[in-house]
Amino acid sequence: MLNKLLSPAALLLGLAALVNGSFMTIAPETWYWLVPGVPDRGPFNQHFLRDIGMNYLLLGAAFVYGALYRKQRLILWSVPTAWLVSHAVFHVWEVLVGICGPQSLIDDFAGVTLPALVALSLLYAGAKEQPDA
The answer to whether residue 38 is domain-embedded is: yes
Average pLDDT over residues 30-51: 94
pLDDT above 50: residue 104: yes
Residue 50 CB neighbour total at 10 angstroms:
16
The answer to whether residue 9 is domain-embedded is: yes
Q: What's the structural domain count of the chain?
A: 1
Signed CA dihedral, 120, 122, 125, 131: sign only? negative
Q: What is the pLDDT of residue 2?
A: 56
* pLDDT tens-place string over residues 5-26: 889 999 999 999 999 999 999 9
Q: What is the pLDDT of residue 128?
A: 86
Q: What is the pLDDT of residue 20?
A: 97
The answer to whether residue 39 is domain-embedded is: yes
Q: What is the pLDDT of residue 57?
A: 98
The answer to whether residue 133 is domain-embedded is: no
The answer to whether residue 30 is domain-embedded is: yes
The answer to whether residue 90 is domain-embedded is: yes
Average pLDDT over residues 43-47: 97
Cα(51)–Cα(73) distance, integer angstroms: 25
Per the structure, the complete domain to which residue 57 belongs is given by 2-128
The answer to whether residue 112 is domain-embedded is: yes
The answer to whether residue 79 is domain-embedded is: yes
* pLDDT tens-place string over residues 76-94: 999 999 999 999 999 999 9
Q: CA separation (Å) from 116 to 27, 33, 102? A: 24, 23, 18
